[in-house]
Every structure is written in C-alpha cells, then in structure tokens.
A = this chain, B = another copy of it.
C-alpha cells in the first residue's frame, strides 16, 4: 500500500478536518508502517501545499478561510481557461472526442446522483470522473508544467471544498455548466470558453472581491 498516495487521497476528500493535527505516530497505525514512512509522505504533501509543516511542530491540515478559497478558485479559473483555450487551438478532433468521452462518463454519474441521491460509491466515482474531465480539458495544451500546476491547484480546491462536495447541492447546475464547456470547445469560440469556465466557478468566489479574469467582452 502506497502511504503517500493514500494519505493524499484522504487529505483531499475530507477525511481530515480543517486545521486538524496530523501525527505520524497516530497515522502509522492505519498503515502498519513506521512513523518515519508516514513522516516522509507528509513532507511530500507539505511541499504540494496539501498539508502545512512547521519545523519542530509537526503537520496540520490547512485552515479554512474564504480568502483562501477565493484565491484558489481564481487560480483554477486562470489555469483552466488558459489550458482549455490552448487545447482548442492545438488539440484537434482527437482532443474533442476525448473531451466528449470524459464528459459523457461524468454526466452519466452526475445524472445518477441527481436522480437517486449521493451514495459513498457514487461520490468516489464522481471525484475521479470530475478530475478526469477537467484534466482532459487541458490535456492538449502542450504544456506539461501547466498541467502539473493545475493538478496542484485542483487538489487544493478539492481539499477546501471537500465537505461542500459531499452534499452535491449543485449537481443540476454542474451538469449544465459542464455541458456548456463542452459546447464551447466544439464551437471553437475561445471567448465563449472563457465565459463558460468563469461561470462554472463563479459561485465559489467572494462576491464583490476584485477578480482578475480575462473574459473578453463579457456581456
């Protein structure tokens, strides 16, 4: 069992509370390994911003704050619009069909959640499919670094929204918004793509706080 991978999953899916202390000596029991191995995993997570580390004071989960959520959301908007627009330019038909496939898988799961309510199993499937959809959106952008930084920001976003996600309040709007993004991709209209991505995230920004997003002639 990969300790790093497993703790990472827990850290972005709400298994730990915001601000909770993470003690290697405690977590080791979950994995039957030594504290050093857990410590190693936590250090790597800290470098990725999923865990906070203070010398001689151990590890804790990041605290929640509206400002932090706004910041992370704005960065996701920036990286995803940039990546999606580049994919539109360079990706061609191959990318369009991959995006379609990823969207199909995701919307199937979202429909089931909308219809029969969230179960633990559906939530797991949704997490994976949502990530895959947004990664596919950027997959043809031609920049490994953009993709890597996006994954970092995506994970922090999931982490901060973990409890929110679990309720699936906005499945209906999510379905619409994901659909609108795919439409924009197929239409080849970059301005439309920027707007659709912005709209997808808009409700997670702090109203009134300045936002720096290029939307080009937002109506």
Contact = CB atoms under 8 A, between A and B. Distances in A.
B210 A71 contact: no
Nearest to A90: B210
Contacts of A85: 212
Contacts of A148: 49
Copy count, this protein chain = 2
Interface in A15-52: 36, 39-40, 43-49
A47 B89 CA distance: 30
A214 interface: yes
A153 B40 CA distance: 24
A46 B49 contact: no
Chain A interface mostly helix, strand, loop or mixed?
helix
Interface in A87-108: 89-90
A119 B39 CA distance: 41
A217 interface: no
A85 B210 CA distance: 13
Nearest to A141: B212
A146 B210 contact: no
A1 interface: no
Interface stretch (A74-82, A168-176, A177-185, A195-203): A74-82
Interface of A: 36, 39-40, 43-49, 68, 71-72, 74-75, 78, 82, 85-86, 89-90, 142-146, 148-149, 152-153, 156, 210, 212, 214
Given A47-B47, A75-B149, A78-B82, 18 more contacts: A39-B40, A40-B40, A43-B43, A43-B47, A45-B47, A47-B48, A71-B144, A71-B145, A72-B145, A75-B145, A75-B146, A82-B212, A85-B212, A86-B212, A90-B210, A145-B153, A149-B153, A214-B214
18 contacts: A36-B36, A39-B40, A43-B43, A44-B44, A47-B48, A49-B148, A71-B143, A71-B144, A71-B146, A72-B145, A74-B143, A75-B146, A78-B82, A82-B212, A89-B212, A145-B153, A145-B156, A149-B153
